[in-house]
Every structure is written in structure tokens, then in C-alpha cells.
Chain A
């Protein structure tokens, strides 16, 4: 039985492999960067982009100073947050910025689905769901549709069926966006199950 966090599932969906237990050695010593960057995205919507960047750079300054791979990783994550702020433009208050995974079952498998941002539309009562990708693996429409399904299921489980207007999957390092409609994500259920069977 597979029990995958969102990040691992997104890697698999794009043809990547699972990170070894404990993560990649080079990344392990800079996990604080990843944690701080995710918090910055939440802060864009829950506070302001300016405060988000201010807090992030405050946390990252010691990594910049250290040089080497830590500084390189810090720069990469900082650029991703800046890209997100620029792409997003509005910094609208979010309905939710989940910080823990919800267990979504596919057969005997679990994906701990954690969409990054859920934005509500007061006019339609529907939601825009955003999934952000931080790594170097590429993104295409088919992979985005697979990635979108657990996010869709997570939001519908919380807010009700038929409430998701769109799932946006954004690859931050390249600013590549794929938009996935509800039916396109649903059609990927067999692919999601097959992917998890293969773990």
C-alpha cells in the first residue's frame, strides 16, 4: 500500500522517482528553506506579499551568507516565491492555505493531498485550487491532470461536490501553468490508481 505525501505524488506524476527515505542528501541540510518558502506562499494570501518576502528573506539570509549549495537552494526557492507573487498579482485572501495533507484514498493507496492555495469566489460559490511545483521536473497537461485529481478530491471533500471551478498547477521554476477542468481531472482516476499501484 502506498501512502504518499503531495510532493512525492507530484514527482511520480511527472515521471520522477520517489526521493530516498529522508530526502535527497544535498537537500536534507536545507529543509528549513523549503519549510520557510511554503510558509511564505501562505503569507502572500493571509498577510501581504511584502510581508511574505520580508519574512522569507529574513529567514534565508544565513543561507545566502553561507554560500555553496545552501545559498544556491535558497536563491532557487526565493525566486520561486517571487515568481508566484508576480504571477498571482492579486494576493487575494485565501479561503484556505492548507499546511497538512488530507488522506485521500485511491483503492488501497493514500495520497496525502495538500493543495497550496484554495481561493473562493463569493459570486459563484466555486473554488479555484492551486498546486505549486518547486522542483526541476517538467510539467505537461497530462501530468497536471493527474496531479489535479487528489487536490480536487480534497477540496470537494471539504466544501462539497461540484464546487471546484478549476485546478491550476503551476511549475514555479519555469512559470509554466496548466489549467485543469474538473472532468479532465476525474477522467484521470484510472491513471492515478495505476500510478499508485506501481509504487
Chain B
């Protein structure tokens, strides 16, 4: 996946995250977010992007996709942790972050 493609996906994920914080039908209106997350979950360079700290970001993103999948047909209410994780993922993907920055923010995601 090119840097440009990754940035475009990051922007899209961030857009959906921002909508989901305000509107419970954000995933229903953007069901393709699940496929985008699936593509990112299969991305080989994800570990580097997350600072290569020994965690398993591919599993993290796959779990996020699974967690959001039911909300393609249901409203996403009372799930701030899923909204938070989308925002965090967008933030990590949109630019190179330092391991310290990622380490701090991933505690919130």
C-alpha cells in the first residue's frame, strides 16, 4: 500500500470517526468502512506504522472491523470506545508518529 493510499484511507476513517461521535448512523451511511479496515488489517507495513513495539496492530484493526460490522445495519449508540479507536487509527495512519506519541495515545484506544 502506497503512502498516498494510506493517507487517503486515514482521511476517510477520520471522517467516519468524526461523524460517528455525533451521529449514530455514521457506519450505516458509510458501510464500506468495514472493507477499508479489512484492507488495513491485511497491510504488512502496519507494525512499522505503529512503532514496531511488539504489539499486534493487524489483529487490533481486524478486531475493530469486527466490532463495527454489526453497525452497518444498527445504530452505533453508547460505544464511545469504537469511535475512539477509529479516531486513533486515523491519527496513526495519517502521518509518521513517534513511538512515544503512539504509546501514550494507544492507552486511550
B84 is an interface residue with CB less than 8 A from chain A? yes
- Chain A contact surface mostly: helix
Whether B23 lies near A114 (C-beta < 8 A) is yes
Whether B18 lies near A63 (C-beta < 8 A) is no
Q: Which of A31-39, A121-129, A136-144, A169-177 contacts B (4 or more CB under 8 A)?
A: A31-39
Docked Cα-Cα span, A28 to B83, in Å, equals: 10
Contacts of B10 in A (CB 8 A): 22
Whether B105 lies near A35 (C-beta < 8 A) is no
Whether B23 lies near A31 (C-beta < 8 A) is no
Q: Which of B35-43, B45-53, B62-70, B73-81 contacts A (4 or more CB under 8 A)?
A: B73-81
| Residue of A7, A25, A30 contacting most chain B CB atoms (<10 Å) | A30
Q: For residue A12, give the distance in angstroms from its CB to the closest CB of chain B.
A: 15
Name the residue on A nearest B18 (C-beta): A23
User: B104's contact among A32, A68, A101, by CB below 8 Å, is which?
Assistant: A68
Q: For residue A89, give the distance in angstroms from its CB to the closest CB of chain B.
A: 25
How extensive is the interface on chain B, given as a class? 35 or more
User: A22's contact among B14, B77, B109, by CB below 8 Å, is which?
Assistant: B14
Docked Cα-Cα span, A63 to B86, in Å, equals: 16
Contacts of A38 in B (CB 8 A): 21-22
Whether B22 lies near A34 (C-beta < 8 A) is yes
Binding site for A on B (CB under 8 A): 10-15, 17-25, 75, 77-81, 83-88, 90-91, 94, 104-105, 107-109
Binding site for B on A (CB under 8 A): 5-7, 19, 21-23, 25, 28-36, 38-39, 59, 62-63, 66, 68, 70, 99-101, 112, 114
| Known interface pairs A35-B20, A38-B22; 19 further A-B residue pairs with C-beta atoms within 8 A, sorted by A's residue number | A19-B18, A22-B12, A22-B17, A22-B94, A23-B14, A29-B108, A30-B108, A31-B20, A32-B85, A35-B21, A35-B80, A62-B108, A66-B104, A99-B24, A99-B77, A100-B23, A100-B75, A101-B25, A112-B23
